[in-house]
């Protein structure tokens, strides 16, 4: 498999991971807003931490995708 094909496959994989992370992030945020009145403070804090972690994951994966796209330009 050519190097360009490997990079394209890796970008495709990262796009799937990015989509999953975005879906998780949106789901947690929606769940938080829907149930904020019934949740204990502990659950709110833990859910907020989960949102921060998944958002950081989205940012990291997005930067990795852009880096891989730059590699394609160099080939």
pLDDT at residue 58 in the model: 97
pTM, whole model, 2 decimals? 0.86
For 57, the domain range is 3-74
**Domain count within the chain:** 1
Please give the full DSSP string across the chain, using - where no structure is assigned. Answer: --HHHHHHHHHHHHHHHHHHHHHHHHHHHHHHHHHTTTS-HHHHHHHHHHHHHHHHHHHHHHHHHHHHHHHHHH-
pLDDT at residue 73 in the model: 86
For the stretch 16-51, pLDDT in tens is: 999 999 999 999 999 999 998 999 999 999 999 999
Q: Which residue has the higher pLDDT, 23 or 3?
A: 23
pLDDT at residue 21 in the model: 97
**Residue 69 confidence class, pLDDT cut points 50, 70, 90:** very high
């Amino acid at each position: 498999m050519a190097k360009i094909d490997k990079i394209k496959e890796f970008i495709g994989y990262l796009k799937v991971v990015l989509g999953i992370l975005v879906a998780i992030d949106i789901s947690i945020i929606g769940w938080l807003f829907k149930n904020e009145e019934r949740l204990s403070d502990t659950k709110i804090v833990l859910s907020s931490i989960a949102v921060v972690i998944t958002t950081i994951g989205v940012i990291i994966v997005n930067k990795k995708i852009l880096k891989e796209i730059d590699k394609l330009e160099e080939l």
